[in-house]
Amino acid sequence: MLNTICQSPSTKLSPGKKFKLSLQNQNQNNKQPLHIVGTINAFTALLAEECGHQAIYLSGSGVATASFGLPDMGMTNLSDVLEDARRITSCTNLPLLVDVDTGFGGVLNVMRCVREMERVGVAAIHIEDQIQSVKRCGHLPNKQIVSTEEMVEKIKAACEARVDSDFVIIARTDALAVEGLEKAIERAKQYVNAGADMLFPEACTTLEEYKAFVEQVNVPILANITEFGKTPLFTGEELASVGVSMVLHPLSAFRAMAKAAKNVYESISKNGTVEPVLSTMQTRSELYEIIEYKKYEEKMEMK
């Protein structure tokens, strides 16, 4: 992290270029999809980097729940997401994919969203075709989507707004659950024709559905493998077998953290001590290693 703070921006590839290279290297060299792991804050981004991941993710649901204690129903705004994104990009050089929901409004809002995301060092965004006023988690029922024409205009606006041509714009479609596979694929083709670099078909339930998108839409496909949703927990190998390029794990670590935190709180309430759960905790030395405490201390002593 200290190197991130001290490094000159001119010496780095753009975030979007790093995202594309990570995807290319993973697909070509390892013949596997790129696993993109959810990070709800700066520290979890450092943990992901420590574990060797090559790309990270900020979930809109994660922002709503972890930062505001709200459900993922369109109640957070661009500024809310930007602040969490800025904190993450400030501590890691890993390329960050951000969930920007519907772009937070019409085409002008989408253009501002893209410019602000680029400004804080985000590598990629995905924008969805749900209706903002009734937006809900992609794995819940009763979703509503905008017209294909409206989404196409948003994608065109996003492409026009980006300064870095490598900034990645991923079109997410929730049409599968609403209109069926054939119409969802037709939408996807139009989104790509409008300029989307990659495609995120939400809530697929079979490998055959992913394969249909891969074969008929000529861009990298992202599979959202979120726990307790409509999509089975397909492995990277299974998804690679049908040509999927990216696997998203949006809130896996957050769910584990939440369960662990509840166990600690319950232990204190029940036992009056943390002793029974001490073995589940990260130690102080492990924490200091992740945040490079000694390097900061050495810098202080040099003054």
pLDDT digits (tens, 9 = 90+) for 93-141: 999 999 999 999 999 999 999 999 999 999 999 999 999 777 778 787 7
Task: Mark whether 164 is an active-site residue.
Answer: no
Which of 91, 113, 137, 204 is catalytic? The answer is 137
Tell me the pLDDT band of 300, cut-offs 50, 70 and 90: confident
> Residue 36 falls within a domain, yes or no?
yes
Contacts of 23 (CB under 8 A, 6+ apart): 34, 55, 220, 245, 246
Which of 99, 116, 174, 209 is catalytic? The answer is 99
> Residue 6 falls within a domain, yes or no?
no
So what's the pLDDT on residue 18? Answer: 97
Task: Mark whether 99 is an active-site residue.
Answer: yes
> Residue 73 falls within a domain, yes or no?
yes
Same domain, 102 and 214: yes
| Residue from 110, 61, 55 nearest 84 by CA | 61
Strands (E), 102-151: 124-128
Same domain, 35 and 146: yes
What total of structural domains would you count in the chain?
A: 2
Same domain, 70 and 142: yes
| Residue from 49, 53, 51, 55 nearest 20 by CA | 55
Same domain, 140 and 54: yes
Which of 84, 101, 118, 197 is catalytic? The answer is 101
Is a pLDDT exceeding 90 seen at residue 9? no
Task: Mark whether 118 is an active-site residue.
Answer: no
The span from the first CA to the last CA of the chain, in angstroms, equals 20
Which of 27, 53, 113, 126 is catalytic? The answer is 126
Residue 125 amino acid letter: I
Write the CATH number for 234.
Answer: 3.20.20.60
For the chain, what is the mean pLDDT? 94
Same domain, 242 and 281: no
Same domain, 153 and 106: yes
> Residue 202 falls within a domain, yes or no?
yes
Which of 84, 116, 128, 197 is catalytic? The answer is 128
Helix/strand/coil (H, E, C) string of 217-245?
CCCCEEEECCCCCCCCCCCHHHHHHCCCC
Task: Mark whether 91 is an active-site residue.
Answer: no
So what's the pLDDT on residue 301? Answer: 82
Task: Lowest mean pLDDT of 126-135, 143-152, 193-202, 236-245, name the range.
Answer: 126-135
Final residue in a domain of this structure, among 251, 269, 288: 251
Q: 45 is in which domain, residue-wise?
A: 15-251
Same domain, 128 and 270: no
Same domain, 163 and 29: yes
So what's the pLDDT on residue 297? Answer: 87
Task: Mark whether 224 is an active-site residue.
Answer: yes
> Residue 53 falls within a domain, yes or no?
yes
Which of 202, 209, 210, 249 is catalytic? The answer is 202
Same domain, 229 and 266: no
Q: Give the tens place of pLDDT for each residue, 265-297.
A: 999 999 999 999 999 999 999 999 999 999 998
Same domain, 162 and 291: no
Which of 72, 84, 118, 197 is catalytic? The answer is 72
Q: Give the tens place of pLDDT for each residue, 23-73.
A: 999 988 878 999 999 999 999 999 999 999 999 999 999 999 999 999 998
Same domain, 140 and 232: yes
Which of 27, 91, 109, 172 is catalytic? The answer is 172
Cα separation, 60 vs 66, in Å, equals: 10
Task: Mark whether 179 is an active-site residue.
Answer: no
Whether the pTM exceeds 0.85: the reply is yes
Which of 49, 57, 91, 204 is catalytic? The answer is 57
Cα separation, 189 vs 216, in Å, equals: 8
Task: Mark whether 174 is an active-site residue.
Answer: no
Task: Mark whether 72 is an active-site residue.
Answer: yes
